[in-house]
A and B are shown apart, each in its own frame.
Chain A
Amino acid sequence: MADLENIVVSNDEPATRFIYDSDKIFQNGSVKPAAFLPTPDKTSGRLETSICRIKDCTEERIWHLAKTQRQDKTVKGRADHSVQSAHDAGLECIAAPVTDFPEHAVLLGWPADKPACKVIAMMLSKASKGVLAP
C-alpha cells in the first residue's frame, strides 16, 4: 500500500463519506455539516476527514466497505460528493489506503478554528448528496 499513499486524488473523482450517526442526516435526507467535521489523527494529531473513493466501486462494494469499517456502529447513510467540491472548499484529498480498504482517502487542510471548519463542512454538506443505507 505504501506506494499508493500520499497521492493527491484527482479533482474529477467521485467520493463518499460514510455516516454512522442518524443525527448527522437532515429530516429531508440531506447531510448535515457535522458529518464532515474532522477529527484529529491518533498519531499525528492532524485534523482529517475520512472518505472513500468510489470511482471504480459498485454500490455493493461501497456498502460493504461502509459496513465493515466500523464494526461498533451501524451505517446509516453516506454523503456522495466530488473531490472537486472538497478542493473548492480549500481542502486537499490524499489517498490513504489501509488493509482491506484501498479506496480510503482523507481530506486535509482543515483550519484550527471552529467557525472556519464549520464553513468548510457546510460547503461540503451543500455540495453532497445524501444516500440512506439500504
Chain B
Amino acid sequence: MNYISGFVSHIQPQTQAASDVAQEVERTSRRVIANVKLGSPGRSRPMEELTAVANAHGMLSTFPGLATYERAARFLTVLPLSASLPEISIDPDGEVAFDWVVDDNMLSVSLGASGQLSFAADVEGKISSGAAFFGAVLPDELSSVLDNFG
C-alpha cells in the first residue's frame, strides 16, 4: 500500500510536469503563430485598430471591457491569412464588431467577453446568420462564410 502510494505520489508530479510542459508548448506555438500572422505585411493593422477603438470607448479600464478586448485580440490571431482584413467597431452592448465588405458582400461578426459570437452575412444576396462560442478556434460555420471574403 505504501509502495503504491509512494509510486503514485512519485509519478503524479511527473505527469503534472509533462502537462505543464505540453501547455507551455501549446501556448508558445499559439504565440509564435499569432506573431507570424500579425507580423505579415499589413496584418497588424486590425490589432492596432482594435486597441485604438477599445481605448476610444474606454474599454480597457473596465473588467468586462478588458476581457472583451482580450477575446477580440485572440479572434484576430485565428483569422485565416486568406481572408481580407476586417474593420473594427464597438457595438452598443459593448461587444467588438468585425466587419468585412467586399463588393456587395458583407459579413459582420460580434464577439463578447465570454466568447459568445454572433454573425450576419450577405453573400451574393443570400443572407445567413448564426451564433457560436469562440474560445480559441474559429467556428466552422463562420470559417465557411469567411471563404467569401478573401
> B97 contacts the other chain (Cβ, under 8 Å)?
yes
Q: A38 to B110, Cβ gap below 8 A? A: no
Q: Total contacts A to B, CB within 8 angstroms?
A: 78
B56 within 8 A of A: yes
B residues in contact with A98, CB < 8 Å = none
On whether the beta carbons of B131 and A21 are closer than 8 Å, the reply is no
A21-B89, A115-B119, A119-B120 are known contacts. Are A33 and B56 too (CB-CB below 8 A)?
no
> Is A129 an interface residue, CB under 8 A from the partner?
no
| Interface flag for B88 (CB, 8 Å) | yes
Q: Does chain B have a CB within 8 A of A57?
A: no
Cα–Cα distance between A84 and B121 once the two chains are bound (Å): 21
- Asked if B106 CB lies within 8 Å of chain A CBs, one says yes
A122 within 8 A of B: yes
Which residue of A23, A28, A30, A115 is within 8 Å of B120 (Cβ)? A115
Interface segment among B24-32, B34-42, B122-130: the answer is B122-130
Is the CB–CB distance between B129 and A115 below 8 Å? yes
| CB of B118 closer than 8 Å to a CB of A | yes
Interface size for chain B: under 10, 10 to 19, 20 to 34, or 35 or more residues? 20 to 34
A33 contacts B120, CB within 8 Å?
yes
Interface string of B75-102 (1 = CB under 8 A from A): 0000000000001111111010101010
**From DSSP, what is the main secondary structure of chain A's interface residues?**
helix
C-alpha spacing A26/B49, complex, angstroms? 12
B53 on the interface (CB 8 Å rule)?
yes
Residues of A within 8 A of B127 (CB): 119, 122-123
| B103-123, CB < 8 A from A | 104, 106, 108, 110, 116, 118-122
Knowing A23-B56, A113-B131, say if A34 contacts B89 (CB, 8 Å). yes
Residues of A within 8 A of B (CB): 21, 23-24, 26-28, 30, 32-34, 37-39, 113-116, 118-119, 121-123, 125-126
Which 6 A-B residue pairs are closest in the complex by CB-CB distance?
A118-B120, A23-B89, A115-B129, A114-B118, A115-B118, A119-B120
